[in-house]
Amino acid sequence: MPTYTLVITGAKDGHQHTTLTTFGDDATAVGDVKHVLTADHTSVAVGRGAADSVEFLGVWDWCEGEPRWTPDE
């Protein structure tokens, strides 16, 4: 299974942490990561790969009480 890099940003102080995980494919990664969003974790960037080979797919942001996906272009 492919490795994905998640960059999670907190709302209170803008802290970020990065974690690696695996998903079967890009669609599953993007769909499942949406559920990480909370009032405390308001942004999650999703990237395929790790370290120097990360290709960011986009970011989920918590906007007006709902998740919003913005693809990386």
Give residue limits of the domains in the chain: 3-64
Q: What's the confidence (pLDDT) of residue 64?
A: 86
Give 60's contacts (C-beta < 8 A, 6+ positions apart): 33, 34, 36, 37, 43, 44, 46, 67, 68, 69
In DSSP terms, which residues pair with 18 in a beta bridge? 7
% the chain with pLDDT above 90: 78
pTM given for the model: 0.91
Low-confidence ranges of the chain (pLDDT < 70): none
Q: Quote the pLDDT of residue 38.
A: 85
